[in-house]
Amino acid sequence: MTLEPTYGYFQLRGQVVGMISDKAYSEGDNGTWNRIQFGVKVSNNSIVYVELMGSKQDRVKMHKKIGKRVDKDDSITVPWSDRYSERYSSYRNSFNVRLNIDKNSEMSLLPYDSIKSIHENLTDGTIVLIKGSLQIEEYQNKIQEKFVIKELYDCESSDDSYSNEEAFFNQEIIYLSANNGKIQTKLIYRKHGDIEIVPYEFSVKDNDLINYFIENIQPNSTLRVHGVIKHYVPTETIDDYEVITGSAVKELVITGGSTNSIVQSRYSNEDLEDNRITGSPFEEEKQDEKVNEWGF
């Protein structure tokens, strides 16, 4: 059985923090690569950190544009210095990042150039809408979530508009089991040409939703779920002061999913040891109509 990747996406809206930190922007020797990392404050006690890394290349592969998509079968390779040449305007690189923070006009740039623009134009306090790739990886036996920027928009809003929390994710999973408010899953990624199978635990706060998984989804089935990103520090107001009352919490809480995405018992336990992978992270997602209160 050929394994297919389980790609995830996220969307945040909130107030930028951390741009003045020395760790916000970094680059390699002679500017061969660069990286940006900053926080998005989505509520008074919740910050989600996003990032983007880019590098210079001798040549850049460009694909023919078809509306908002690209034709993977029609591509050219151009020198780095010609990556934005007018003569190649009908082509674009699949890893472009869309911005509208530079002179308030939307641009489509390679990650390396996008990072430069973010570093030069984005400031703390700006209200932004960010969309991107949710990457859950295992590093040195620890699971980590990366929120990689794909689109960044400057929202002309008041300073307190981030008080309405907006931190969502959408992720395809391989479902294993459900109990005690947790969903056990496996996720599949391509990394450096090989596959990486990552065990990951999602949270569920709705007991009826947990029961839905137990009663309707078979182990090793695939389906797409959605929910909220919960990265926060528990606080309580005491004598008009906001006081931290517990340790930081980092979890992805499933609130629903799509019945149309379910493939029951898609893999066996042996399949999940396979070292092959197919699929593309750039395929557009289809929107499904809700059929119950959780979206299934």
Q: HSE on the CB side for 88, CA within 13 Å? A: 19
Average predicted confidence (pLDDT) for the chain: 86
- Give tens-digit pLDDT for 218-269: 999 999 999 999 998 887 777 777 777 778 889 999 999 999 999 999 999 8
pLDDT (0 to 100) of residue 70: 76
**Structure token digits, residue 81:** 């210095």
The b-or-e profile of 214-226 (16+ CB within 10 A means b, else e) is: eeebeebbbbbbb
pLDDT (0 to 100) of residue 276: 42
- Give tens-digit pLDDT for 134-177: 999 888 888 999 999 999 988 864 445 555 568 999 999 999 99
The pLDDT > 70 percentage for the chain reads 85
* pLDDT tops 60 at residue 106: yes
Please state the separation of Cα 230 from the chain's center in Å: 14
Average pLDDT of the segment spanning 69-93: 88
pLDDT (0 to 100) of residue 17: 96
β pairing state of 142-154 and 97-99: parallel
Residues 178 and 210 sit within 8 Å (Cβ to Cβ): yes
Average pLDDT of the segment spanning 201-224: 96
- Give tens-digit pLDDT for 166-184: 899 999 999 999 999 999 9
